[in-house]
Amino acid sequence: MMATLFVINPNSSQTVTDGIAAALAPLQGMGAPIQCLTLAEGPPGIESQSQADETIAPMLRLAASLEAEAAGFVIACFGDPGVHALRDRTAKPVLGIQEAAVSTALTLGQRFGIIAILPASIPRHLRSLGAMGVLDRLAGDRALGLGVAELADPGITRERLIETGRTLRDQDGAEVLILGCAGMARYRPELEQALHIPVIDPCQAAVSMALGRIALSQTHKPGA
């Protein structure tokens, strides 16, 4: 049996996991099979640093239980909780969706914008971007003002996404937009069509990158 790329949603919302799986459907059959999993011990939505940090230990336990059958792992939360810890524990490819989305954005335009869910998410994003050394390429980071559960309402979410994306494009000068939550996956095509600039779903970005790493047998621990 072919080893599997496991995409772990660190919150406990199966609806979010189903949305991630739907967004990744075009990538099925392009290499390792992709399986999306929900972390049962996680909170319903990850909206703060403390919630993100609390998911790390159970996520690491889940990954350890899958190690023998895994081709690689994607942590499907925009805060990338536990990515470095999991890289420390396995030689298999480990991708975080925020890091992958930003790396992808840098190849699609000079300045990128991030659509966050809540204002409280933005400081976490800025810390990560500072660690990556890409703050000079950030056009802006603006919040929808919607929690993870509220993203399930397509009417209000679609309207807020387009409004926020337009502000990032027209006022902040963003040439590329990043959806700053795994729960926004299904809105990417509509937002791209409405704004006419590239829009990155972070789960798609991370899985695309992971499939390439797996195909090339490329790892952060060569020879391990």
Question: Which tens digits make up the pLDDT trace of 83-133?
Answer: 999 999 999 999 999 999 999 999 999 999 999 988 988 999 999 999 999
Residue 152 has pLDDT above 90, yes or no: no
Q: The domain 99-201 is classified under which CATH number: 3.30.420.40, 3.40.50.12500, 3.90.1640.30, 3.40.50.970?
A: 3.40.50.12500
Q: In what order do the strands lie in the sheet with 138-143?
A: 138-143, 112-116, 176-179, 199-200
pLDDT value, residue 223 = 81
Band of the pLDDT at 149, cuts 50, 70, 90? confident
Strand-pair partners of 75: 8, 96
What is the distance between the alpha carbons of residues 69 and 136, in angstroms, rounded to a whole number? 40
Band of the pLDDT at 62, cuts 50, 70, 90? very high
pLDDT value, residue 146 = 80
- Of 159, 114, 166, 165, the C-alpha closest to 140 is 114
What are the boundaries of each domain within the chain?
Answer: 4-96+204-215, 99-201
Alpha helical stretches, state H, the chain: 14-24, 49-54, 56-66, 83-89, 97-105, 121-132, 154-170, 188-195, 202-215
pTM of the model: 0.94
129 contacts 106 by C-beta, under 8 angstroms:
no
Q: What is the CATH number of domain 4-96+204-215?
A: 3.40.50.12500
Angle between the N-to-C axes of helices 97-105 and 202-215, in degrees from 0 to 180, rounded to the nearest 10: 90
